[in-house]
Structures are given as structure tokens and as C-alpha cells.
Amino acid sequence: MATKTRPGNFFEDFRVGATLVHATPRTVTEGDVALYQGLFGSRFALQSSTPFAQAMGYDRAPVDDLLAFHLVFGKTVPDVSLNAIANLGYAGGVFGVPVYPGDTITTTSQVTGVKENKDGKTGVVYVHSTGVNQRGEMVVDYHRWVMVRKRDPVSPPPDTVVPPLPGSVALADLRLPPAMTGHYDTALAGSDDCWEDYAVGERIDHVDAMTIEEAEHQTATRLYQNTAKVHFNQHVEQHGRFGRRIVYGGYVISLARSLSFNGLANAQRIVAIHGGRHVNPTFAGDTIYAWSEITGKEAVPGRTDVGVLRVRTVATKDLACHDFPAQDEAGAYNPAVVLDFDYSVAMPRR
């Protein structure tokens, strides 16, 4: 009898050029916004206040950019990374139109590359994923690569294709916020520091920290309908690489972003993900700290209300960031580093 259950794709099932249409459409609700707030404690004014958002040119408060990212990402998991060992990185991410409660998100992916690992038991799969709203407008578009188990270690691998990955997103390709229609209130935003006040090379210790609870990271992962087994099935993972479930990498990205409020409170919107690596696994019980470096600064032609900062945010587990832990001269990461995230934010000008 043919089975009706779906075991997910293993490495040898992927073919370069294949298009994956991901089930199921996801309508965003006010409950999603409240749960995101409860899980990560984000305090950015744009996503917290409709009057504040309207002064910035929005119809109302949009959902957090990373909430939109998680919803798009989660749709891809049953087809791309259900049998993953680890998500490895991101590149060329662009945020499109803002997402509001009531919008419905759907996602498709194209397989852009495959490469078997030396152990013969796993391989890396590269995909380009796009999420759109009910009007077909792009909300998030990005590349990622993930390590996936093989179904049968002796099965022949697909031909190796390693795609060229975008190194960064050009200013001209960013979907910037609308022109401000009112006064930008820095007191209500939580900081007087605007675009002009940051310098390339400046480092910021975000000081605060959050400990991850088991129930929290699993609630978040279920919320985004991410079904990857490594996050849930302790019965299997007790015999795996780490002996326990790992935390969804996007959870750490959102924690780091929330922590960055203390030092980057006026970074109201993420407009690009240039790159990102989950350097080490994170587990329930780990305490996450973060620091950021300003790596680029661009004025926007024809705009005096907003500028763009390129930011590198590094998150650590169980290690405060007052001395900015990252990589040594040989490029080896401090063992406490769990995330190295390269992105751009739109920030108001004076």
C-alpha cells in the first residue's frame, strides 16, 4: 500500500532548477504580533505604535520585518529542511512591501545548487526563496543554504552545482521606507541617535541579555510552522550530533535584533540581509548577548529624511560582549559566538 505521509526531501531528492511551491498560505493576525512581542520583547516604535508608524508614512504599524521573514522561512521547511542537520547561512535578502495583520503570505523556492559532503551522509542544498502577499507583492526574497541528510549514504549524489551567491545588496535594490509625513519623535522612539550620529567602524555593546527557555523556542518554531525535526524530536535527537534539540536559528536572529534596540533604537526597519552564519548551535538554557559594528553608511539620493546603515551583529551564548568577541586573526570564531549577521537598516536623519 502506498503511504500518504510525507517524509520530506532528502539530499538526493533535490534537483537544480526545480521549483518548490510551499504549502500552506499563512494569514498574519494580531495574535502573531502579540506572540512575537511576548517571545522576543522587541521595542521598536514603528512596529509598536500605529500613530508613530503613520508619522513615518505607513498606513499603520507593520509587523516586525523578522516576523515576516520567519513566516516565509517556515513555509519552506517541509520541502527544504525537514531532514536538515543545520541551517548554514543566508545571502542577498531583500525586504519588500510592509506586511500588516490580515495579509496572507505564500512562498516558493527554486533549488539553485547541491553539493554532497565528504562524509557521504549529508549534503548542502542551496535555495532561493520568495514570499509574496495576497496581491503578489514581494515581502521577502533571500538565498539560503542548509545541510540535509541523505536517505541512503550509498546512493549516488546529484551532480555538484555551487551557485554564485550575492555578496551584498546594492543601495539601488533596497525597498526603502516611504517618505515621512510627520515629525519623527526621537523621545518616543527611545533614542536621540540618528543616522548622522553613527560612524563606520563604531562598535556597540548592547549590554542586555535573554535566556532561552525550552517552551519559548519551541512555541516560536511552531508559530512559524517550521517542522524541522532537529527542533522538536528529542526521542531522535538524543542519538544525534548534540544529544538534544537545537534552537531554530531565526529565533537567535530575533533575539539579537531585539537586544540591539539598546544602541540602535532608531533602526526602525531592516531593508536587507547581506549575509549571515549560524556559527555554533544554540540550546535551551543558553543566555544570548549581542554587539554590533557599523560597517557601512550610505545617504539615499533624493532623500533627506532617511539614510542606510550597514550593520554586523554578533550574538554570543553565555558570554557578555563588552570586549566584542568575534574572530581571531586566523578567522576562527570564539566558541561562544552563535550568530554573525550582516544586514542593512533604514534610519531617520536629523
192 to 108, 131, 300: CA distances (angstroms): 41, 34, 21
CA distance 169 to 230: 31
Q: What is the pLDDT along the chain (350 residues), one digit of tens a residue?
A: 567 898 899 999 999 999 999 999 999 999 999 999 999 999 999 999 999 999 999 999 999 999 999 999 999 999 999 998 888 899 999 999 999 999 999 999 999 999 999 999 999 999 999 999 999 999 999 999 999 999 999 999 889 999 999 889 999 999 999 999 999 999 999 999 999 999 999 999 999 999 999 999 999 999 999 988 889 999 999 998 899 999 999 999 999 999 999 999 999 999 999 999 999 999 999 999 999 999 999 999 999 999 999 999 999 999 999 999 999 999 999 999 999 999 999 999 99
Q: Report the length, in residues, of the chain.
A: 350
Q: Are 256 and 337 in contact (CB under 8 A)?
A: no
Cell of 93: 535578502
- pLDDT, residue 2, reads 66
Strands annotated E in the chain: 19-27, 84-95, 104-116, 122-132, 138-149, 203-205, 210-211, 269-278, 287-299, 306-317, 337-348
Cell of 250: 531565526
CA distance 50 to 42: 15
- pLDDT, residue 319, reads 98
- pLDDT, residue 259, reads 98
- pLDDT, residue 90, reads 95
- pLDDT, residue 281, reads 94
Nearest to 137 by CA among 105, 109, 110: 105
CA distance 316 to 339: 7
